[in-house]
Structures are given as C-alpha cells and as structure tokens.
C-alpha cells in the first residue's frame, strides 16, 4: 500500500499486450477508465469464504458467552484476511500487467486464502493457528515473488522499494510462526507486535519512492470489499427472516430483528457510498491512514452480520446470553462502523457543525438502543435510517441555499 507523494514515478503507460510474459512495470496514475479487473473480482469473491468462516466462529463465541476471547480471535484472524487482501489490492493498482505469470501467481494467492479459511475454525476452537499460518505462507510467498519481479524490471530507486517490500513480507512471515510455536498467553502480544511491524513495512519501503497506485481504482476496490462484508450482514438478515418463518412461535420477536438488520445494512451502504472518495485520495497525502483505518470499517461491517445471527439465536433460545448482550452484538459494531466511516472520509465532505455531527450522534444513539430489550435491533435500524434521511435533507438544504446565492449574486 502506498500514499500519494511528490516522489511518485512519472505516469507510465501500460506495457503493450504482447506475449504471455511481460515486464512487471508500473502503471500510470493518469489512466482513464481504470476499473477492477475480472481477476481482482474473482480474488475478492474468494475472500468471502474466509470472512464467512470468521463470522461463523464469532457467532459461536458470542452466543456461548465468550465475548472477550471470541472478539480477540476474530480481530487476529480478520487482520490476516484484511492485510492479505490489502497488500494485493494496492500492489495490483500499481503493477497489474495481466500477463500469464501474474495471473498464475494471483491464483496461488487465492489458494492460500482458501487454506487460511479452512483453518479458521481450529484457530477459534483450539487456538491452533497452523493451518492459518500455512495459508498465509502461500499468500505471502506469492506476494514476495511479485515484488521480486518488479525489482527485476525496475531502476535503482524503484528496485530498492520492491526489495524492501519483498524482504519485509518474508521477515514478518517468519515472525508469524510464533503463533504456532509460542505458548498461548504470549500470542496476543506477538500478534500486536507483528501487526505493527506489518503496518510499518509499506512506510519503510516507500520512504524514498512511492508506487503509482490509481486513486479511482483504489476507491473502487475498497468499495467492492465493503459490499462484500456488508453482504455477510445481508445473509445474516436473511437467516433472521427464514427463522421468523420457520419458528412461528417467535415470529413477533424475530421480524423486528430482521427489519432492523436490513435497515442497518441499507444505511451502512448508503453512508459509505454517498461521497466520491477517490477525489479525496488524489489530493490527500494521508492515504496510509485512510487505507489502514478500513480495518475497522471492514471488521465492524462483517461483525454486524455476526451480531444479527447472535440476536436471532438468543431470541429462539439457543444462545446462552442475555438480551442486552445479544443486542450489544449488533449495536456496538454498528456504532463502530458509523464512527469509522465518518472519521475516514465522510467528514471531509461535510459542511457545518450540523452535517458533521450526524454520524457521531447516530453512533451514540445506536449504542443507547442496546438497552431497549427485544426492540434494540429495530430501534438501531430506525436510528441509522433516520441518519441517512437527515443527511440527505441537510445536503439538499445546503444545495438549495447555494443555488439561491448564485442566482442573487449578479444582482448584488
């Protein structure tokens, strides 16, 4: 991943499409109509499996009353999923040449994702991270290989960048072996240290030279992944509806959860995509913060779906937690999502204190909904939908005011 910099390479056109193998050289930031490729879409689709597995295990942990342990395991596993996705996405934005070798290496990374997904349940249930680590080995070796290809074709400054990336990826991967070898109490601290080290690799690699990622392409890639994680919540709301149909005795209690869940997901989509973030990325040198901060956006969006399933299980009596705990499983990740989206990019497009306070106030009200018992999820959904309506009304009001000012300006 990279940040905008004055030291970025001069825009270069994509290498000519000839032959199955081509040099892995930088693409230009001035490319028009740059969109996600079919290979990138396939790559994202395969991450659904890993995200779904993490969500299922989070549901089991929360429903059994092991919230602290479950959230910690979820944070660790989701970091591995998100970081692997992000490494590929920013690399592909700068260097995707779509030759045969690039495609094969990307498919190898997809295989690693599937191996990682297969080990998620063991990581949660037995704290055995061996399969997760092996999946990560496959992905990270492939990623390092891509950077070495860049180094082979690049000039001095860009070669140094590529070698720093490759070396950083491999060193961190060796460190992750500690999750397999070290005693269980030491693993959270190892995770924290290595997570920081991983985040520092791009900062170190690009200290002298920046890659030519494409702002519109990156914004689209993040948007697509947001849709994927929100899709997990849509699936959870669907389960709630199905349960309402199957469990006729609990129909009155489950329908509010289903309706509230859909309102939360619809509002989450609207709030994220209401602003054209690629323009902000093009001019903002804090792209690292924006990209890294999406860990909270993605993790909380996926956790909303898990929370909805927990709320359903508690309602039908299969979860061993209180109504308030089940409600919190929905309201807390919803509030975190709202605050994260506001902090990362929504606030940059808000004018005036009224617009700025809509999402923070909504997050606070959603948390307060936790104490409303069986109606907590529906209330949180209504509050989220109201925030969207208020945001639209404020935007329309300001647009009307601006239009009126423009019409009266000549007369003045």
List, for residues 86-106, the tens digit of each pLDDT value.
999 999 998 988 889 999 999
At residue 250, the pLDDT reads 67
Lowest mean per-residue pLDDT among 220-224, 272-276, 339-343: 272-276
d(CA 277, CA 27): 21
Using the predicted structure, report yes or no on whether residue 164 has a pLDDT greater than 80. yes
Residue 261 lies in a domain: yes
d(CA 42, CA 369): 38
Q: Do residue 176 and residue 68 come from a single domain?
A: yes
Residue 16 lies in a domain: no
For 85, other C-beta atoms within 10 Å of its C-beta total 24
Residue 316 lies in a domain: yes
Q: Do residue 70 and residue 174 come from a single domain?
A: yes
Tell me the percentage of the chain whose pLDDT exceeds 70: 85
Q: What is the mean pLDDT of residues 185-210?
A: 90
Domain that holds residue 258: 216-408
Domain boundary among 211, 239, 271: 211
Of residues 33 and 406, the one with the higher pLDDT is 33
Residue 344 lies in a domain: yes
At residue 285, the pLDDT reads 63
Of residues 407 and 163, the one with the higher pLDDT is 163
Chain segment 48-87, per-residue pLDDT in tens:
888 888 988 999 999 988 888 899 999 999 999 999 999 9
Q: What is the mean pLDDT of residues 130-143?
A: 93
Which one, of 65, 89, 91, 61, lies nearest residue 75 by Cα?
Answer: 61
Q: What is the DSSP-derived secondary structure letter of residue 372?
A: G
Q: What is the DSSP-derived secondary structure letter of residue 285?
A: S
Residue 18 lies in a domain: no
Q: Are 39 and 284 in contact (CB under 8 A)?
A: no
Q: Are 54 and 303 in contact (CB under 8 A)?
A: no
Of residues 68 and 412, the one with the higher pLDDT is 68
Domain boundary among 162, 191, 211: 211
Whole-Å CA distances, 14 to 30, 171, 278, 393: 11, 31, 21, 44
d(CA 363, CA 371): 14
Q: Are 267 and 380 in contact (CB under 8 A)?
A: no
Lowest mean per-residue pLDDT among 94-98, 240-244, 328-332: 240-244
Q: Do residue 91 and residue 172 come from a single domain?
A: yes
d(CA 51, CA 303): 10
Q: Do residue 268 and residue 376 come from a single domain?
A: yes
> Tokens 């519109």 label which residue?
216
Q: Are 48 and 302 in contact (CB under 8 A)?
A: no
Q: Do residue 191 and residue 251 come from a single domain?
A: no
Q: Do residue 311 and residue 374 come from a single domain?
A: yes
Q: What band does 280 get if pLDDT is binned at 50, 70 and 90?
A: low
Q: Are 148 and 162 in contact (CB under 8 A)?
A: yes
Whole-Å CA distances, 39 to 29, 92, 117: 20, 10, 20
Chain segment 385-395, per-residue pLDDT in tens:
999 898 888 77
Which residue pairs from 126-133 have beta carbons closer than 8 angstroms and sit at least 24 positions apart in sequence?
Answer: 127/73, 127/184, 127/187, 129/179, 129/180, 129/187, 130/180, 132/77, 132/80, 132/179, 133/176, 133/177, 133/179, 133/180
Whole-Å CA distances, 351 to 3, 240, 395: 26, 38, 9
Domain boundary among 185, 211, 237: 211
At residue 13, the pLDDT reads 42
At residue 403, the pLDDT reads 57
Of residues 55 and 347, the one with the higher pLDDT is 55
d(CA 183, CA 200): 26
Q: Do residue 262 and residue 197 come from a single domain?
A: no
Spell out the residues 6+ positions from residue 146 whose beta carbon is closer than 8 angstroms to its own.
24, 91, 95, 102, 105
Q: What is the mean pLDDT of residues 270-293?
A: 75
Lowest mean per-residue pLDDT among 21-30, 91-100, 149-158, 324-333: 21-30
Residue 22 lies in a domain: no
* Residue 59 token pair: 């549901």
Which one, of 94, 99, 89, lies nearest residue 12 by Cα?
Answer: 94
CA dihedral of 56, 229, 36, 209, whole degrees rounded to 10: -100
At residue 244, the pLDDT reads 61
What SS3 class is residue 73? helix
Q: Do residue 404 and residue 351 come from a single domain?
A: yes
Using the predicted structure, report yes or no on whether residue 275 has a pLDDT greater than 60. yes
Residue 373 lies in a domain: yes
Using the predicted structure, report yes or no on whether residue 2 has a pLDDT greater than 70. no
Residue 25 lies in a domain: no
At residue 35, the pLDDT reads 85
Q: Do residue 258 and residue 403 come from a single domain?
A: yes
Q: What band does 302 get if pLDDT is binned at 50, 70 and 90?
A: very high
Q: Do residue 248 and residue 191 come from a single domain?
A: no
d(CA 361, CA 15): 49
Which segment, 155-164, 226-235, 326-335, 340-349, is predicted with the most confidence on average? 326-335
At residue 316, the pLDDT reads 82
Q: What is the DSSP-derived secondary structure letter of residue 321?
A: S
Q: Do residue 271 and residue 156 come from a single domain?
A: no
**How many domains would you assign to the chain?**
2
Q: Are 69 and 61 in contact (CB under 8 A)?
A: yes
Which segment, 6-15, 109-118, 204-213, 345-354, is predicted with the most confidence on average? 109-118
Whole-Å CA distances, 225 to 6, 48, 152: 28, 9, 31
Q: Do residue 224 and residue 94 come from a single domain?
A: no
Q: What is the mean pLDDT of residues 23-41?
A: 84
* Residue 164 token pair: 């720093």
Using the predicted structure, report yes or no on whether residue 18 has a pLDDT greater than 80. no
* SS3 per residue for 200-266: HHHHHHCCCCCCCCCHHHHHHHHHHHHHHHHHHHHHHHHHHHHHHHHCHHHHHHHHHHHHHHHHHHH
Lowest mean per-residue pLDDT among 229-233, 238-242, 255-259, 272-276: 238-242
């Amino acid at each position: 991943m990279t940040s905008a910099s004055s030291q970025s390479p001069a825009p270069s056109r994509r290498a000519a499409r000839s032959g199955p193998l081509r040099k892995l050289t930088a693409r230009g930031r001035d490319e028009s109509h740059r969109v996600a490729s079919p290979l990138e879409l396939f790559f994202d689709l395969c991450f659904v499996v890993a995200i779904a597995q993490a969500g299922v295990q989070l549901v089991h942990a929360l429903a059994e009353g092991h919230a602290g342990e479950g959230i910690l395991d979820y944070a660790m596993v989701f970091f591995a999923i998100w970081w692997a996705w992000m490494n590929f996405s920013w690399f592909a934005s700068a260097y995707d040449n779509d030759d045969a070798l690039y495609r094969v290496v990307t498919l190898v990374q997809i295989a690693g994702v599937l191996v990682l997904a297969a080990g998620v349940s063991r990581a949660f249930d037995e704290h055995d991270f061996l399969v997760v680590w092996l999946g990560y080995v496959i992905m990270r070796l492939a990623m390092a290989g891509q950077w070495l290809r860049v180094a082979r074709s690049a000039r001095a400054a860009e070669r140094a960048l590529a070698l720093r990336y490759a070396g950083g990826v491999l060193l961190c991967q060796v460190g992750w072996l500690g999750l397999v070898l070290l005693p269980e109490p030491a693993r959270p601290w190892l995770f924290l240290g290595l997570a920081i080290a991983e985040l520092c690799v791009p900062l170190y690699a690009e200290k002298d030279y920046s890659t030519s990622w494409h702002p519109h392409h990156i914004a689209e890639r993040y948007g697509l992944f947001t849709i994927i994680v929100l899709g997990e919540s849509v699936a959870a709301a669907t389960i709630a509806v199905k349960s309402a149909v199957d469990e006729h005795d609990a129909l009155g209690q489950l329908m509010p959860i289903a309706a509230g869940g859909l309102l939360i997901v619809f509002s989450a989509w609207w709030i994220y995509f209401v602003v054209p973030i690629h323009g902000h990325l093009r001019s903002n040198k804090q792209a690292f913060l924006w990209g890294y901060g999406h860990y909270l956006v993605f993790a909380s969006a996926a956790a909303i779906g898990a929370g909805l399933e927990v709320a359903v299980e508690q309602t039908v009596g299969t979860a061993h937690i209180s109504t308030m705990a089940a409600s919190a499983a929905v309201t807390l990740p919803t509030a975190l999502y709202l605050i994260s989206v506001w902090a990362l990019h929504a606030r940059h497009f808000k004018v005036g204190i009224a617009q700025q306070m809509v999402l923070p106030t909504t997050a606070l009200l959603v948390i307060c909904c936790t104490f409303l018992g069986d109606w907590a999820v529906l209330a949180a959904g209504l509050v989220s939908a109201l925030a969207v309506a208020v945001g639209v009304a404020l935007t329309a009001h300001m647009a009307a005011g601006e239009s009126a000012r423009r019409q009266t300006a000549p007369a003045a």
